[in-house]
Structure 1
Amino acid sequence: MGKINEKVYKVLCEVYAAEIGAVGIYMDQHTKCADMGYQKLADMLKNDAIDEMKHAEALAERILMLGSTVKYQKHIVPEEKQNDIVTMLKLNINIEIEAIERLNSGITICFHEKDHGSRMLLEEILKSEEKHLSELQTKVNNTEKFGNQYIVTHLM
């Protein structure tokens, strides 16, 4: 294709960097939760990490298809000492909220720049992130409402 639109390129690279950061955090949490015996939660986090990895892959493929290269940027990294599951889930809620805001902004930019292929890709990722957010909020709300009973039944 021709020269990539700089505004769209910036959006795609920013979303890519955020997705890579989320992969690392969710995989770190997955292994910690599995080690602490929270297998159901660990499985959910692993699946979320895989979803984020697929998002990153699709973004990289789109950038390459548009004739550019992935620009690597600083991304968030896991906290080594993080072991409280509610704290983990609340961090993930914030990650997903930021992702949704970034994607909505990016979708608007792609629309205005008439790059509807990139817009559609971001819309697909947005739907996935909204689903992750809803699942995380439900887990935090139920953990706060029902405590250890919910944790034992639904997260272990």
Structure 2
Amino acid sequence: MGSVNEKVYKMLCEVYTAEIGAIGIYMDQHTKCEDLGLNKLAEMLKKDAIDEMKHAEMLAGRILFLGEIVKNQKHALPEEKQFDIVKMLKLNRDIEVEAIARLNEGITICFNEKDHGSRMLLEEILKSEEEHLSNLQTMVNNIEKYGDQYIVLHLM
């Protein structure tokens, strides 16, 4: 098309790709946690996966609105043999930290390129990712502080 800003388009596709990766990782963890009887944690992971799916859907819609195609690129994949809850939560925390950095960078690009529709979309997604990060950090801190007792009381 050529009418859409190339920097904005490239960045929207990168954010989209990261969301697709997060969906797969969170769904994989959701099913594993459900199988382990960690039902509260499984539900949270399922909700997070659905949130990421909504983000990907909004991003795809924005890319199409701008007259471009959604590029499917290589994305992060779940670790098949990963069943350690603390490692899962720390991985997710890292995913969210990276997402927040990517979104903040994207917001700056959109602002500089005067694409405020895309900027507002990224700001909406950013708030959701910050909420995910806050919840994950609280869980990791509590597991480190209280160990299995926290897992039994709050995640099963």
TM-score by length of 2: 0.98
* Other-structure match for 1:153: 153
Percent sequence identity over aligned pairs: 78
Distance in 2 (alpha carbons) for counterparts of 1:22 and 1:64: 21
**Structure 1 residues not aligned, in runs of 5+:** none
Distance in 2 (alpha carbons) for counterparts of 1:6 and 1:71: 13
| Counterpart residue type for residue 39 of structure 2 | Q
Instruction: For residue 148 of structure 1, report the CA deviation from its aligned partner.
Output: 1.2
- TM alignment of 1:45-124, pairs within 5 A: 45-124=45-124
Distance in 2 (alpha carbons) for counterparts of 1:77 and 1:47: 18
Tell whether the 8 Å contact from 1:16 to 1:59 is kept in structure 2 after alignment. Answer: yes
Structure 1 stretches of at least 4 aligned residues deviating more than 4 Å after TM superposition? none
SS state at 1:114 partner: coil
* Other-structure match for 1:5: 5
Instruction: For residue 2 of structure 1, report the CA deviation from its aligned partner.
Output: 7.5
Q: Given the alignment of the two structures, is residue 130 of structure 1 paired with residue 130 of structure 2, yes or no?
A: yes
Distance in 1 (alpha carbons) for counterparts of 2:52 and 2:81: 23
CA deviations on 1:86-136 (whole Å, 9 max, x unpaired) are 000000000000000000000000000000000000000000000000000
* Other-structure match for 2:17: 17
CA deviations on 1:43-90 (whole Å, 9 max, x unpaired) are 000000000000000000000001111011110000000000000000
Distance in 1 (alpha carbons) for counterparts of 2:31 and 2:4: 39
Distance in 1 (alpha carbons) for counterparts of 2:4 and 2:79: 36
* Other-structure match for 1:44: 44
Tell whether the 8 Å contact from 1:2 to 1:66 is kept in structure 2 after alignment. Answer: no
Distance in 1 (alpha carbons) for counterparts of 2:34 and 2:61: 32
| Counterpart residue type for residue 95 of structure 1 | I
**Structure 2 residues not aligned, in runs of 5+:** none
Tell whether the 8 Å contact from 1:143 to 1:151 is kept in structure 2 after alignment. Answer: yes
SS state at 2:134 partner: helix
Distance in 2 (alpha carbons) for counterparts of 1:59 and 1:32: 28
